[in-house]
Every structure is written in structure tokens, then in C-alpha cells.
Structure 1
Amino acid sequence: MIVSVHIPKTAGTSLRIGLERALGTRLLLDYDDRPLAQGPEHDARRSRSAAEVRADPDRLVRDYDAVHGHFIASKYLPLGERARFAVFLREPVARTLSQYRHWRRAPNAPNPIAAGIRAGAVGPGDLAELPEHRQIYAAFLGGIDLERFAFVGLAEQYDTSLALFRAIFGIDLPVLRENVGSSGAEDDGLSTGELARVKAAQTDNALMYDRGRRRFETLCTAFL
């Protein structure tokens, strides 16, 4: 079973639509966990959701060929070796700025950070420095090493990544460009100092991205 982790603003929406078209009812969407949300109520919801996976992993494997969504990858470790983990990564400064732009233009985003961005109280540097965004890749991977992932794609090399996905999983997905924003810092009118602030806050994500890029290159060599 493919366990596809959708980290925000890493081409996951395009991948989701492609998987829906390819797999239909054999795709399970898992978007309720909100891994970045803080507080006991969110912790309790994620705990309940993880317990459901532990309770009957055989049913999941029987009923679905893939699961895709915003969840912590370790949630699906109860599937054992039947779990084939997949994830897209994106250069972290570009990902952060894309997240900022997305929330700036999303009037109904249900979180206080988005509201702060829309009100002008939270800037790109503020977003980048939030603890949950400083280590967003580690948070979504849930302690699973990237070497355990059967597939690692790069948003910047989306077409090649889909070819790799097809080679590894045998699923031919359409090349889509959904929910895509611009990727240039110049579109945000960022000063040199503010951009440097974003970069400095994304050091841990940059290290994880570099590991993912190496994993991507290794997989491409093996499968393409």
C-alpha cells in the first residue's frame, strides 16, 4: 500500500488529483490530522486517528491501494513492510514563501497564523521562524528515515518525479499543475534582510531537503 505524505506546498494537491483519477475508490484520503496544529485537542485527534490504524491495518491494505494526505508518516507504521512510503519535498525557502502567499490569499483558512498573515501581523520571516515550520519536514516524516521511503520526489522536478513514481509503483499519473503559486521571492517584495531571515530559519529543513534530493537522485539512477 502506498503511503503518500502530503507536506503543504510541495505539489501534493496535483499528486492527489492524479491519484484520485488513477485509483478511484481504492484511494484513501487522510486530511483530518492537521500535523502542524498545536494544542491538546489536536494531539487527541491525532492519537485517536493513529489508534484506528493500529486497530485494523489489514482492512486498510485490503480496501485501499494508497493513502494520501496531511498526516505524520509514522501513523502508518502498523502496516509493516506492506507500507511503501512516498513523499514530495521542495526547496524550503520556496516552500515557506509559497505557504505564506497561499495563506495571504486564502480568506477562509481555519488557523490563526493565516489570519495573522492576512491582517499583516505575520510576515514571511515570522512564519519561517515558527517552531513547527522550522522543522516541517521532520514533523511530517515522523522519525522515518528518508532511506525507508520507496519514493522521494522533488516539486522542482515534477515531471521527472512522476516518471519515477510510475517506474516504482506502476501507476501512470497525469502531469497536473494544481494549486500552484509563483515561486519567486520578488513577488513578495521581500527585502534582502527578510529573505535572509527566512533562509536562516529554514536550516533544518534545508538539510532534510538535501538528503531527499540525494535519495531522489539515487532512485532515478536505479529506476529511470
Structure 2
Amino acid sequence: MQIFKGLKQFTVSGINQLSFKASIDKVLFDFSKREPSIHENIECISYHIPKTAGTSLRLSLDHAYHANSVHGAYKESGAKELSRGDNIWLPNKTKVIHGHFRTHVNHYQYFPNAKHIVWVRDPIERAWSLLGHLLAVKPNTPHFNLLKSRYIDKGILNKAKLFQCVVKDVELSNQFFVYHSYFKQISIDKFNFVGSMHNMNNDFTRLSDVLGKTLIVENQNRRTSAKDLPTEAKRLEKFFANEYEIVASYLNK
């Protein structure tokens, strides 16, 4: 029963439903406790930093490669393992891995033929959008619960005020300052492609050339843009200095 429970979590969190054959293969693989093989068929690894064009890119990859060839690596479908440098099981038809996982040098070993791609966004704009997402969906996570108990429950409801609080709060700011951790093992200049949310149409054309596939901007799910940022948020730029140092030359703003 535990195996089937894990399979259900894997399927749902991975976005794309596994075929019947792939489901059986997954169950048998888990039961056998074998080590995953080297995935020479993987053509692209897409590192999805939260609030950086993930929806648009995922839809485009689905159409370019077909949905059953794109594996979503999230909480229960491989993201944790990939972030710590472990190999993972993948359906046989997988050509692309896309999800919220950090870089790791072991990815070169497990996926020797894959091109590494990533999208970036202005650090303050990304953080502001992430806060908006958290306030909108109110996830039952330790991170949001801490934000709620420490600030929201004490009457701090204004988004700009909350933003100042979380940016200055060491326990909460780790999700708002992410570029250093995402590019810790593989630096951004080693990527085959770095796209900017501020230049999406041109960069999708450039990505098409890199992957040899026709990619179209399917949807731009942007919770906020630069024009929505209040003055109070813009004044916090000094707190994002390390973030800008990593991505500034790729933003094309």
C-alpha cells in the first residue's frame, strides 16, 4: 500500500499523469530498490525558479515535446532528490525534466546529453510576486504559517509593509533570496540558455534555436510587473545586492 500511495503522490505532484505501463514500471522499480540508470535520452533540464515564467515555459515544452515526454519534478516527484544530487526514476519516454530543483554537478553525470536552461526575473519583482502568491493561496506550509503568526496575525496586513518585514526577517527571507542557492553548484554562466521574463518573446525565439524546437509563448502568468511595485519595495534594493550580482547581466530590462 505504501508503494501505491507514493505513486499517487508522484503522479499528482509531477503534473502529468503516468500511463498505465509507466505506473506499473514505477511500482516495480520502487519494489526492486534498484539504482536509476544514466538517462542518456534526456535532452533538456529546465530549472524552474518560482515566479519566473514557469507556466509559460511548461506549456511551451509540452507542445514542443508532447506532454508525456516532459516530467514535472516537484515535491514528491524528484525535486528533493535532484536538489541534493541524487538520481531519479523517470518514465521511458521522458525527454525533458522541468521543476523546482536546485542545480547540482551530478546532473552532468546522470543526464550527460541534456542542455541546461533557466529563466530569471528582476529579484525585487520576483520576490514581490512570490509574496502576492503566498497571500493569495495561503498554503499550509511552515514558511507561510510563520509569516502569518509573526506578522499577519499581529495586524500587519498591508502588502508593502509585509514585504519589508519578510525581506529583513532571516527566517522568512530564504524563499525571497533564491538565486545564490539555485546556482550554487552550477553557476549561471555555465547554462546553455538563460532567459529573461522581461524579454520573453525574443528569448523564446532564442531558446527555440538552442533546443532545435519551435517554442511559442503559450501564457504569461505574471502576478505582478515592475509598474505594480510600490516605492517602499523599490527602496529595499540594497537587500537584494547579492541577487542582482548573479542575474543583472541577464535581465535585458
TM-score band by shorter chain is 0.7 to 0.9
Alpha-carbon separation, structure 1, partners of 2:49 and 2:190: 17
Q: Structure 1 residues 125, 48: closer, same or farther in 2, change over 3 A?
A: closer
Provide TM-score, normalisation by structure 1: 0.73
Amino acid at match of 1:21: H
Q: Structure 1 residues 168, 191: closer, same or farther in 2, change over 3 A?
A: closer
Normalized per residue, the structure richer in helix is 1
Which residue pairs with 1:204 in the alignment? 242
Per-residue deviation at 1:126?
2.8
Say whether the 8 Å CA contact 1:146–1:211 is kept in structure 2.
no
Output aligned runs, 1:70-219, within 5 Å.
Answer: 70-74=100-104, 76-79=107-110, 81-107=112-138, 109-115=139-145, 116=147, 119=152, 120=156, 123-129=162-168, 130=170, 131-133=173-175, 135-184=177-226, 187=228, 190=230, 192=232, 194-197=233-236, 199-213=237-251
Q: Give the root-mean-square deviation of aligned CA atoms.
A: 3.2
Residues 1:31 and 2:31 are matched in the alignment: no
Per-residue deviation at 1:47?
7.4
Q: Structure 1 residues 63, 141: closer, same or farther in 2, change over 3 A?
A: farther
Say whether the 8 Å CA contact 1:134–1:202 is kept in structure 2.
no
Q: Structure 1 residues 10, 47: closer, same or farther in 2, change over 3 A?
A: closer
Alpha-carbon separation, structure 2, partners of 1:66 and 1:204: 30
Larger Rg: 2
Provide TM-score, normalisation by structure 2: 0.66
Q: Structure 1 residues 8, 67: closer, same or farther in 2, change over 3 A?
A: same
For residues 18-42 of structure 1, the C-alpha deviation after alignment (integer angstroms, 9 at most, x for no partner) is: 11222221111101179xxxxxxx9
Which residue pairs with 2:52 in the alignment? 10
- Percent identity of paired positions between Structure 1 and Structure 2: 20
Tell me the secondary structure at the aligned position of residue 52 of structure 1: coil
Amino acid at match of 1:52: N
Alpha-carbon separation, structure 1, partners of 2:248 and 2:140: 31
Say whether the 8 Å CA contact 2:83–2:101 is kept in structure 1.
no
Amino acid at match of 1:155: M
- Of structures 1 and 2, the one scoring higher in RCO (CA 8 A, sep 6+) is 1
Alpha-carbon separation, structure 2, partners of 1:17 and 1:27: 10
Alpha-carbon separation, structure 2, partners of 1:47 and 1:148: 18
Amino acid at match of 1:73: T
Which residue pairs with 1:64 in the alignment? 94
- After superposing the two structures, state which structure 1 stretch, 68-77 or 113-122, moved more: 113-122
Per-residue deviation at 1:138?
1.9
Say whether the 8 Å CA contact 1:73–1:140 is kept in structure 2.
yes
Q: Can you give the 5+ residue segments of structure 1 that lack an aligned partner in the other structure?
A: 35-41, 217-224
Say whether the 8 Å CA contact 1:33–1:70 is kept in structure 2.
no
Per-residue deviation at 1:168?
0.7
Amino acid at match of 1:169: L
